[in-house]
Homo-oligomer: A and B are copies of this chain.
Amino acid sequence: MSHPERDTRQTIVDTAERFFRDIGYQKTTVADIAKSLRMSPANVYRFFDSKKSINEAVLARYKGEHEAALAAIAAEDRPVADRLRDMLQTSYRINQARYADQQRMHEMVCAAMEESWDAILGHIARFDALMCKVVAEGVESGAFRKVDPGEATRCIRTAMIRFHHPLLMSQCSRMPGPSIDEMIDFIMAALEPPVDAA
């Protein structure tokens, strides 16, 4: 793909993101996006075969940023428990900034959950792989108890869903606690090795 083509693709994604954020995914049409770019809809369709594909590109960028942030923390030279805590806090912070109080953004994610489930599964798989590597390192070094890293990773992800899932972030903010720090402490306790093996 030549650079001008890549730029056009990028510009379409930027514009779509602004529409999704301002008027919502459902109400945005490919014609709106094309018009705002002074393009024909046919030209947009050269790059994306549907609004769903554009949404996937917007979410792929979000997820790419999210995954890069986690990968950077995973690679730091710090105790493994600190890195794992930081990965969970960072995921919350990123999702909080993106989705909290932003009904329009829920709409995008909900649409993706209905229309682009494979893309969501891909993100979960990459999130799990990053987390699993850190958990495995902790088990190996004795910093964590002898758990199965894959199983522990799936439990950690599931225990944290209230802090990562766009819909739950708003629903659960009206429920009694725990705070993100309390939740992470609880998870870390489940990974702590028994004292005599420490």
Which A residues are within 8 Å of any B CB, using their own CB? 113, 117, 121, 124-125, 128, 145, 147, 151-152, 154-156, 158-159, 161-162, 165, 167-168, 171-172, 174-178, 182-183, 186-187, 189-192, 194-197
Query: A183 to B155, alpha carbons, bound, how many Å?
Result: 6
CB distance from A170 to the nearest CB of B (A): 11
> Which are the 3 A-B pairs with shortest beta-carbon distances?
A190-B190, A159-B159, A155-B186
- Cα distance, A99 to B117, chains bound together (Å): 21
Task: Give every chain B residue within 8 A of A174 (Cβ-Cβ).
Answer: 117, 121
With A128-B176, A154-B177, A161-B168 known as contacts, the answer to whether A189 contacts B186 (CB < 8 A) is no
Listed by A's residue number, 23 A-B pairs whose Cβ atoms lie within 8 Å are: A121-B174, A121-B176, A124-B176, A125-B176, A147-B189, A151-B177, A152-B186, A154-B177, A155-B178, A155-B183, A155-B186, A158-B159, A158-B162, A161-B161, A161-B162, A161-B168, A161-B172, A187-B190, A189-B190, A194-B194, A194-B195, A195-B197, A196-B196
Q: Is the interface of A mostly helix, strand, loop or mixed?
A: helix
Within 8 Å by CB of A182, from B155, B162, B176, lies B155
Q: Are A186 and B167 in contact (CB under 8 A)?
A: no
Complex interface: chain B residues within 8 A of A162 (CB)? 158, 161
